[in-house]
Structure 1
């Protein structure tokens, strides 16, 4: 039986607004982030979308977002936390390296500075979300995560050229919809708030 995963990026934070690198470190949601998360929750209700289970990363910006989207109980999971950027945490986004031309991400760059590689992030997020969706009573699930983590999860199931062709963008509060069947995720759609 096909199941559905809604994978959402958290709402805008202070560090997003200030263009600071935010992986393992955290900052509070802005007024815009709060309003956007509430709007996503209302959009789900308006379209009759409900969840039998809800999850978020262990980072406060994700749990705060989830609590604004739905009032149902949820579980926090380390496996869907954001990419760790080592000593670059809290620094200006201008310090980010150019994307690896083959992997279309930061590749292994942050490993030398105490962070994670793109493939490490991808492996833990895929493992965590696969374990969640394999549970028999999980049919329609919401998981609130982060931009880098969501991107690497999507890259497992969709070629980079196809991501570009479809114009998939990871704005704050963007929601990626996947179907899940027998260990495989299939990308269905990306929902974004109109800015």
Structure 2
């Protein structure tokens, strides 16, 4: 049986606004982040999109976002937390390394600074979201995660060429829709909020 996963990035935070690296560190949602999350909640309601289960990462920006979208019970999971960037967390985004041309990501760069590799992030995202979708009573699920972690999950199912061809951008509060069957996720669509 085909199931559906809505994987969402949290709302804008203070660190997003200040262009700081977040990772495992946290910062509060901005007024825009709060308003955008409510807008996504309204979209789900207007389109009669209901979830039998909801999940978010253990980071507050994700749980705060989820609570603005729905008042249903939810579970917090470490497996869908943001990419760990080690000592770079809280620092300016200008310190981010250049993208590895072969892996087309930050690769192993952050490991030497106490963070995670792209492969580690992708593996835990895939493992956690697969386990969620394999639960018998989970048919239509909402999961709120983070930009880097969500991107690495998407990379498992779509090539970089396809991501570029479809012009997929993971803005704050972006919602990616996947179908799930027999251990495999299939990307269906992305919805970003309209820019003001």
Given the two structures, how large is their TM-score scaled by the length of structure 1? 1.00
User: Matches of residues 8-47 of structure 1 in structure 2 within 5 Å?
Assistant: 8-47=8-47
Per-residue deviation at 1:9?
0.1
Quote the offset at 1:175 in angstroms.
Answer: 0.4
SS at match of 2:141: strand
Q: Is 1:191 equivalent to 2:191 in the alignment?
A: yes
Q: Deviations over 1:28-77 (max 9, x none)?
A: 00000000000000000010100000000000000000000111000000
How many residue pairs are counted as aligned between the two chains? 195
Deviations 1:134-159 (A, max 9, x none): 11110000000000000000000000
Structure 2: which 5+ runs fail to align?
none
SS at match of 1:149: helix
Whether 1:132 and 2:132 are equivalent positions in the alignment is: yes
What aligned pairs does 1:26-175 form with structure 2 within 5 A after superposition? 26-175=26-175
CA distance in 2, matches of 1:192, 1:146: 14
Structure 2: distance between partners of 1:103 and 1:151: 13
* Distance (whole Å) between structure 1 residues aligned to residue 125 and residue 104 of structure 2: 18
The alpha carbon displacement at 1:104 in A equals 1.1
In structure 2, C-alpha distance between the alignment counterparts of 1:125 and 1:142, rounded to whole Å? 14
> Gaps (5+ residues) in structure 1?
none
Give runs of ≥4 in structure 1 deviating > 2 Å: none
Return the alpha-carbon distance in structure 2 between the equivalents of residues 174 and 36 of structure 1.
Answer: 10
How many angstroms does 1:103 deviate by?
Answer: 1.2
Distance in 1, matches of 2:101 and 2:133, equals 32
Moved more, 179-188 or 96-105: 96-105
TM-score, normalised relative to structure 2: 0.99
